[in-house]
Structure 1
Amino acid sequence: MPEAYGFTAYGGPETQRFLDLPKPVPGPDELLVEVRAAGVNPVDWKVRAGMHRAFLHLDLPAVLGREVAGVVEQLGDRVDGFAIGDPVFGTSARGCGGYSRFALLTADQAALKPATVSFTDAAVLPVAAGTAYDGVGQLTLTGGERLLILGIGGGVGVAAAQLARDTGVSVVGTAAAAKREFVESLGATAIDYDSPDFGAQLEKALPNGVDAVFDLVGGDALHGVSAVISPGCRILTVAEPETAARFGARPLSRRGSTRTLTELARRVADGRLDPQVRGVFRFEEAKAALREVEAGHPWGKVVLDMRGGL
């Protein structure tokens, strides 16, 4: 029986454990993958905590994990473009299931992994980098424009900064003071959101306002930067609808298509996009990996390396 790591009830980390479950069977539009690496994301502990129960219905016990990279083991009846033995990466089918020796991917949210991209790098692309790619695309940025990213130091913000930078956009982002050097290494200007002179720093960095805002923080974050929001500014936000409407912002929508994943992998392969994998844990360390993410780990992406044995 393949090993998996998941949770037996909604709640805190005490509900997590290793599970012996049957090997999944792919549906018509799914791939069964022998997992080599699985991304660890904040959404994973939020699923366990029950924060997504309204729209993600799971039978418990459930396996954690939204993104994987591995090798195709079996194909669903309607799957085209993939073959058994292909190295692939993508989004876990049915909402979760990535922390496992074998996992299911939805075919239209999976892509072939280039040989020059590692499994650990590929495994962290679908969620954060995929969200960043969709968001930057929706903002229709052009060279010479100014983009403000609220929450630039997180996984989505880090990828968005790199993607926007490569279009010739001037990127400014809000982040903790400890992340200043890291953010500036991405080619962006960092502003400490906890600084007492935050407003002055913001206006100094953006004396002519901004052309676009990518709000990854939500809450009152848009209110705090309203002084630099120019007329006609395009805004994407994760804030609640009332705040979004007040600023004329649009909600961020995800696609996560094969085309998006293929483009992200191409950018990693040619060096334009660094997935910023900073923490690689063995599968038996799944609890520690998720604990680091749930606590708000400070740097880069966290991955489970599934090649080691329990």
Structure 2
Amino acid sequence: MPKAYVFTRDGGPETEALVEVERPRPGPGEILIAVRAAGVNPVDWKLREGLRRPGDAERVYPVVFGSEAAGVVEEVGEGVSGFAVGDEVFGNTVTGGYAQYALLRAGVTAHKPAEVSFVAAATLPVAAATAYDGLRQLGLPTGATVLITGAGGGVGAAGVQLARAFGLRVVGVSSEAKKDFVESLGAVHVPSGPGWTERARAAAPDGVDGVYDLVGGDVLTEAAGLLTDRSKLITAGAAPRDVEELGGRRVARARTTAVLDAVARLVAQGDLDPHVTRTFPLERAGEALRTVEDGHARGKIVIEVAG
């Protein structure tokens, strides 16, 4: 039987295990892939801790970790067109991606360009696509200045690069430890911590035209004070109510094949580097998840699954 990395109940790392599971069968609108790589994201451990997202079905344990994966098509479900057995694809998962086999939603799956590795493709459906959706939502004109909080993380690093590709000036807020990394992406770095808004004003004396928040909490509230037009405040780091009280909006995720195609093209063209800093085999998925959960990951962490 194929293996998968799961959590057996809500809780901490003690609930995790590498187990054997039944091979999934694709339903209508679904694709079964042999996984080659799976991205690791903060939402993975948050779901293990008990996070429930709108529309989530009742949880049946064990639950396989992972929201994004890349691999090779093994089967296609009823009503699926445009994909065939043997195609190299990537997308958002129905069943988790930390596994030898996973189901993808055909409507949020794209063909992997030959120039893009499985490892790189596996990072795109969550972090890069979230960054892309948010920047399109802001709709800033070429030459405008966007401030991105949490610029050293997976979504933030993608956001900085995409903003630069869209012709924007970027101010990136992150810890001092990530200064060189954020600057290497093309942003003006502002150290996070007490007094960061004053430092941001000094870095952008003409003001900022938009804020893309990836942190939430007090950072979101403080960032709102940098804007004269609060409609240009968006967040992927806070709940809708929190940002709406400040006059902004939550990022509206498109979750379409078209968005995945767009970010993959940017990778193929060299405009977007997923900055995968570490990879782990499936047998060490727990270590991969700890790297992200501890909050010290720079760029993206990926689990590679042997073919």
Q: What TM-score bracket applies, with the shorter chain setting the length?
A: over 0.9
Counting only pairs closer than 5 Å after superposition, residues 145-164 of structure 1 correspond to structure 2 as 145-164=144-163
Distance 1:63 1:172, change over 3 A: same
2:91 is matched by which residue type in structure 1? Answer: G
Q: Distance in 1 between matches of 2:206 and 2:170?
A: 14
Q: Distance in 2 between matches of 1:18 and 1:125?
A: 25
Show the counterpart of 2:90.
Answer: 89
Show the counterpart of 1:99.
Answer: 98
Q: Deviations over 1:65-116 (max 9, x none)?
A: 11110000000110011111000000001xx411111100000000000111
Please state whether the residue corresponding to 1:130 is helix, strand or coil. helix
Show the counterpart of 1:184.
Answer: 183
Q: Distance in 2 between matches of 1:231 and 1:73?
A: 49
Show the counterpart of 1:170.
Answer: 169
8 Å Cα contact 2:197-2:226 kept in structure 1: no
8 Å Cα contact 2:224-2:233 kept in structure 1: no
Show the counterpart of 1:234.
Answer: 232
Q: Distance in 1 between matches of 2:135 and 2:279?
A: 28
Q: Distance in 2 between matches of 1:175 and 1:78?
A: 45
Displacement of 1:53 after TM fit? Answer: 6.6
Distance 1:39 1:9, change over 3 A: same
Displacement of 1:228 after TM fit? Answer: 2.6
Structure 1: 5+ residue runs without aligned partners?
none
Q: Distance in 1 between matches of 2:224 and 2:261?
A: 36
8 Å Cα contact 2:224-2:230 kept in structure 1: no
Q: Distance in 1 between matches of 2:191 and 2:76?
A: 48
Identity %: 50
Q: Distance in 1 between matches of 2:51 and 2:172?
A: 28
Distance 1:231 1:131, change over 3 A: closer
**Corresponding position: 1:7 with 2:7:** yes
Distance 1:233 1:62, change over 3 A: closer
Displacement of 1:283 after TM fit? Answer: 1.1
Distance 1:4 1:240, change over 3 A: closer
8 Å Cα contact 1:90-1:123 kept in structure 2: yes
Task: From 216, 219, 235, give the equivalent of 2:217.
Answer: 219
2:203 is matched by which residue type in structure 1? Answer: A
Please state whether the residue corresponding to 2:75 is helix, strand or coil. strand
Show the counterpart of 1:287.
Answer: 286
Displacement of 1:54 after TM fit? Answer: 6.7
Displacement of 1:256 after TM fit? Answer: 2.0
Q: Deviations over 1:14-44 (max 9, x none)?
A: 1111121111000110000000111111111
Structure 2: 5+ residue runs without aligned partners?
none
Show the counterpart of 1:208.
Answer: 206
Q: Distance in 2 between matches of 1:161 and 1:103?
A: 30
Show the counterpart of 1:116.
Answer: 115
- Give the superposed CA RMSD: 1.6
Q: Distance in 1 between matches of 2:247 and 2:74?
A: 47
1:36 is matched by which residue type in structure 2? Answer: R
Please state whether the residue corresponding to 2:210 is helix, strand or coil. strand
Displacement of 1:152 after TM fit? Answer: 1.1
Displacement of 1:227 after TM fit? Answer: 4.5
**Corresponding position: 1:77 with 2:78:** yes
8 Å Cα contact 2:146-2:170 kept in structure 1: yes
Q: Deviations over 1:239-272 (max 9, x none)?
A: 3445423431011111221000011111111111
2:213 is matched by which residue type in structure 1? Answer: D
Q: Distance in 2 between matches of 1:269 and 1:174?
A: 27
Show the counterpart of 1:305.
Answer: 304
96-105 or 78-87: bigger deviation: 96-105
Displacement of 1:175 after TM fit? Answer: 0.4
1:204 is matched by which residue type in structure 2? Answer: A
Show the counterpart of 2:59.
Answer: 58
TM score, norm. by length of structure 2: 0.95
Q: Deviations over 1:209-253 (max 9, x none)?
A: 111111111112133234431246611124344542343101111
2:252 is matched by which residue type in structure 1? Answer: S
Show the counterpart of 1:16.
Answer: 16
2:248 is matched by which residue type in structure 1? Answer: A
8 Å Cα contact 1:211-1:233 kept in structure 2: no
Q: Distance in 1 between matches of 2:93 and 2:28?
A: 15
8 Å Cα contact 1:213-1:233 kept in structure 2: no
Q: Distance in 2 between matches of 1:229 and 1:54?
A: 30
Question: In the comparison of the two structures, how many residue pairs are matched?
Answer: 305
8 Å Cα contact 1:219-1:240 kept in structure 2: no
8 Å Cα contact 1:211-1:229 kept in structure 2: yes
Distance 1:53 1:102, change over 3 A: same
64-73 or 151-160: bigger deviation: 151-160
Please state whether the residue corresponding to 1:18 is helix, strand or coil. strand
Show the counterpart of 1:67.
Answer: 68
